[in-house]
């Protein structure tokens, strides 16, 4: 089962083998956790988005048109869940901390230390507008092409390029403020 | 910007208990195999078959088509009989027969007979036993009713041979070679 293709596992699940789905969860859990954590800014919400995405994907599995590309289909669901949760978070006006353990250690580290640098990046990332953060993460972290980003998000290529450019400008601005302070 | 991206590309691990939570949630969802009949019928799926499966499938389809054609022929024939009787009363009279000569070149044969729908496919029918005329030529002349017929030669009581000089019948009775014969009405 470990070495089976996504399509084979999807077929088994659709035949009623519920436990086969665990292989897909293990296969994509960490890969997509990165996007969710960066997008939502904390592990608690990221895990909730991931669980929700996996459950929704399971429920709609029969509608997955190309089981060979299950991962791309799942990622699209996750991107949408992160959007929804991000909007909900905005309404709650919560303050997010990226990683509690990293933050605790960063508090006593020198700013030049790796943890501190990472913390500043995460803080700057969370200060981007959600659509800019989404475009930046898909382009620079998930390393998708603009066409694939467009299919995934339903946003035109030109608009995505503009969002990425603005995200980069804003990140440079925020991080240079930190270094000049 | 590349430095920022490199930092953000570092793996992020979440709690492995997430798997259990997901599996617990999906177990609450009705299993896919128990989905509605309609969704199961309308959901596309991949089917893997071996060449042997294809062979069995093709043979089954051929058998099914042949049986269907035979039944359809009988049904049409049965339904058309009263109409034909009303339109062509003469057709109700016993069919006349014509004498037909069957010839087969079979130099190595010890015995040759003609079987067909006109003699009940009986290889021992006395009127249809061919005689050796010399040079490997076997022939028999026998009465055959007016109409369309299927027939074949049986060599040495075991080998069915279609008449090489006659057109091949479409329906070959599932493997046995048959020839087609039309005996015209003498009128």
Q: How far is CA B17 from CA A5, A22, A51, B22, in A?
A: 24, 12, 11, 9
Binary contact (A140, B32; C-beta < 8 A): no
Residue A155 phi/psi, 5-degree rounding, is -105, 145
CB pairs under 8 A between A and B: 101
Distances (CA, A) of B187 to A24, A84, A159, B10: 81, 90, 88, 98
Mean confidence (pLDDT) of chain B: 81
Is residue B35 pLDDT above 60, yes or no? no
Alpha helices in B29-183 (DSSP H): 37-42, 51-87
If you average pLDDT over residues A26-52, what whole number do you get? 92
Question: pLDDT: is B46 or A64 the higher one?
Answer: A64
> How many whole angstroms separate alpha carbon A35 and alpha carbon A50?
10
Instruction: Provide the ipTM.
Output: 0.78
Q: Which residue has the tokens 């302070």?
A: A181
A109 — pLDDT class (breaks 50, 70, 90): very low
As a whole number, mean pLDDT of residues B39-47 equals: 61
Give A125-158 as a 3 state SS string: HHCCCHHHHHHHHHHHHCCCCHHHHHHHHCCCHH
Q: Nearest C-alpha of chain B: how many angstroms from A172?
A: 8
Question: In CATH, what class is A97-181?
Answer: mainly alpha
- pLDDT level of residue B47 (50, 70, 90 thresholds): low
**Of B141 and B66, more confident:** B141
Helices vs strands, H then E, count in chain A: 9, 0
Answer whether residue A98 shows pLDDT above 50: no
Q: Mind telling me how many Å the CA of A50 is from chain B's nearest CA?
A: 8
Nearest to B35 among A25, A54, A62 (CB): A62
Reply yes or no on whether the pLDDT at A94 is more than 60: no
pLDDT of residue B166: 86
Which class is domain A1-96? mainly alpha
* Residue B95 scores a pLDDT above 60: yes
Q: How far is A122 from chain B (nearest CA, A)?
A: 8
Round to whole Å and give the CA distance between B106 and B112: 8
- When CB atoms are compared, the residue of B25, B27, B33 closest to A51 is B25
Predicted local distance difference test score (pLDDT) of residue A97: 46
- What is the residue whose two structure tokens read 């991962």? A71
Q: Which one is predicted more confidently, B86 or A137?
A: A137
Which tops the pLDDT comparison, A160 or A105?
Answer: A160
For chain B, what is the radius of gyration of the CA atoms? 33
Instruction: Tell which of A7, A30, A38, A101 to mutate to test the B interface (max B CBs under 10 Å).
Output: A30
Among A57, A60, A52, which residue's Cα sits nearest to residue A81? A52
At A177 the pLDDT is 73
Query: Under an 8 A CB cutoff, do A61 and B31 touch?
Result: no
Quick one: pLDDT at residue A178? 66
How far is C-alpha B25 from the chain's CA centre?
A: 52
Minimal C-alpha gap between B57 and chain A (Å): 23
Mean pLDDT of the region B9-35: 82
Please name the member of B15, B23, B32 whose beta carbon is closest to the beta carbon of A14. B32
Report pLDDT for A71: 93
More confident residue, B59 or B51: B59
Residue A100 or A69, more confident? A69
Pairwise CA distance, residues A164 & B65, whole Å:
63
The tens digit of pLDDT for each residue in B158-176 reads 888 889 888 887 665 556 7
Q: Which CATH class is domain B97-183?
A: mainly beta
B6 near A CB under 8 A: no
Q: Where are chain A's structural domains?
A: 1-96, 97-181
Alpha-carbon distance B56 to nearest alpha carbon in chain A (angstroms): 25
**CA distance to B62, B76, B167, per residue, from B73 (Å):** 16, 5, 20
- Chain B CA closest to residue A42: B14
Q: Which residue of B16, B32, B45 is the best one to mutate when testing the A interface, meaning the one whose CB has the most A CBs within 10 A? A: B32
Q: Which of A24, A25, A123 to mutate to test the interface with B (most CBs of B within 10 A)?
A: A25
Alpha carbon separation from B20 to A22, B23, B25 (Å, rounded): 8, 5, 8
pLDDT on residue A130: 92
Which residues of chain A approach chain B closer than 8 Å at the C-beta?
7, 11, 13-16, 18-19, 21-22, 25-26, 29-30, 33-34, 37-38, 43, 46-47, 50-51, 54-55, 58-59, 61-62, 65, 67, 117-118, 121, 125, 137, 140-141, 168, 171-172, 175
Give yes or no for residue B100 having a pLDDT over 90: yes
How much is the pLDDT for B56? 85
Alpha-carbon distance A169 to B6, whole Å? Answer: 17
* Residue A96 pLDDT: 47
**Token pair in block for residue B28:** 């609450």
What are the domain boundaries of chain B?
A: 97-183
Q: At what angle do helices A70-92 and A6-14 cross, to 10 degrees?
A: 80
Smallest Cβ distance to A22: which of B11, B23, B46? Answer: B23
Q: Looking at per-residue confidence, does B35 or A142 come out higher?
A: A142
Res B34 pLDDT > 50: no
Q: Residue B43 — pLDDT band, cuts 50, 70, 90?
A: low
Over residues B117-146, the pLDDT tens digits come to 999 888 899 999 999 999 899 999 999 999
**Residue B85: is its pLDDT beyond 70?**
no
Are A21 and B8 within 8 A, CB to CB? no
Q: What integer pLDDT is reported at residue B29 of this predicted model?
A: 83
- Mean per-residue pLDDT of chain A: 84
Split at pLDDT 50, 70, 90, the class of A49 is very high
Hey, CA dihedral for A41, A47, A53, A56, is it positive or negative? negative
């Amino acid at each position: 089962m470990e070495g089976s293709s996504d399509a084979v596992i999807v077929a088994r699940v659709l035949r009623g083998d519920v436990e086969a789905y665990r292989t897909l969860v293990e296969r994509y859990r960490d890969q997509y956790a990165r996007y969710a954590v960066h997008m939502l800014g904390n592990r608690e919400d990221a895990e909730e988005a991931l669980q929700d995405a996996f459950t929704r994907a399971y429920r709609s599995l029969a509608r997955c048109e190309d089981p060979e590309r299950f991962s791309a289909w799942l990622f699209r669901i996750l991107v949408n869940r992160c959007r929804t949760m991000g909007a909900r978070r905005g309404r709650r006006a919560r303050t997010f901390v990226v990683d509690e353990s990293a933050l605790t250690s960063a508090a006593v580290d020198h700013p030049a230390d790796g943890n501190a640098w990472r913390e500043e990046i995460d803080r700057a990332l969370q200060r981007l507008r959600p659509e800019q953060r989404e475009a930046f993460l898909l382009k620079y972290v998930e390393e998708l092409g603009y066409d694939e980003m467009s299919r995934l998000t339903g946003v035109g290529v030109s608009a995505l390029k503009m969002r990425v450019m603005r995200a980069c400008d804003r990140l440079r601005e925020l991080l240079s403020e930190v270094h000049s302070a | 910007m590349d430095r920022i991206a490199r930092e953000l590309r570092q793996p992020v691990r979440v709690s492995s208990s997430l798997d259990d939570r997901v599996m617990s949630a999906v177990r609450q969802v009705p299993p896919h195999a128990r989905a509605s009949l309609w969704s199961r019928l309308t959901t596309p799926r991949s089917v893997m078959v071996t060449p042997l499966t294809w062979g069995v499938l093709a043979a089954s389809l051929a058998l099914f088509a042949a049986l269907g054609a035979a039944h359809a022929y009988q049904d049409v024939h049965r339904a058309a009989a009263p109409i034909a009787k009303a339109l062509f009363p003469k057709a109700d009279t016993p069919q006349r027969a014509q004498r037909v000569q069957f010839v087969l070149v079979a130099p190595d044969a010890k015995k040759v007979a003609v079987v067909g729908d006109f003699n009940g496919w009986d290889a021992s029918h006395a009127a249809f036993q061919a005689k050796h005329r010399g040079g490997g030529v076997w022939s028999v002349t026998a009465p055959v009713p007016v109409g369309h017929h299927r027939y074949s030669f049986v060599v040495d009581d075991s080998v069915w041979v279609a008449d090489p000089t006659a057109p091949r019948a479409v329906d070959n009775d599932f493997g046995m070679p048959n020839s087609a014969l039309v005996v015209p009405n003498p009128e």
